[in-house]
């Protein structure tokens, strides 16, 4: 296992301390969990970006054109 000295602004450190206490976790557990969550989100974003480059918009629109249309929810418009 590796170690890394982390410098934090006092306000962020205090927020982390309170969160760790309320979660009954150590500061180390909180930081490791937070870093893992962020890295997972970045990896997911990269994977989705790569998948989007492979998308065929014409084929997707063709499939959608064959679907029976009902009322469209706000925000789902194309």
What pLDDT, in 10s, does the model give residues 38-70? 999 999 999 999 999 999 999 999 998 898 877
pTM of the model: 0.69
**What whole-number percentage of the chain has pLDDT above 90?**
81
Residue 76 lies in a domain: no
Residue 49 lies in a domain: yes
Residue 47 lies in a domain: yes
Residue 70 lies in a domain: no
Considering its fold, how many domains does the chain have in total?
A: 1
SS3 of 3-60: CCCCCCCHHHHHHHHHHHHHCCCCHHHHHHHHHHHHHHHHHHHHHHHHHHHCCCHHHH
For the segment 26-48, the average pLDDT, to the nearest whole number, is 97
Confidence of residue 76 (pLDDT cuts 50, 70, 90): confident
Task: State residue 47's pLDDT score.
Answer: 98
Task: State residue 68's pLDDT score.
Answer: 81
Residue 78 lies in a domain: no
């Amino acid at each position: 296992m590796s170690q890394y000295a982390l410098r934090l602004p006092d306000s962020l450190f205090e927020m982390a301390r309170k969160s760790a206490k309320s979660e009954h976790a150590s500061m180390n557990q909180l930081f490791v969990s937070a870093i893992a969550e962020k890295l997972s989100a970045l990896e997911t974003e990269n994977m989705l970006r790569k998948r989007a480059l492979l998308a065929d918009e014409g084929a997707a629109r063709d499939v959608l054109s064959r679907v029976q249309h009902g009322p469209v929810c706000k925000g789902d418009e194309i």
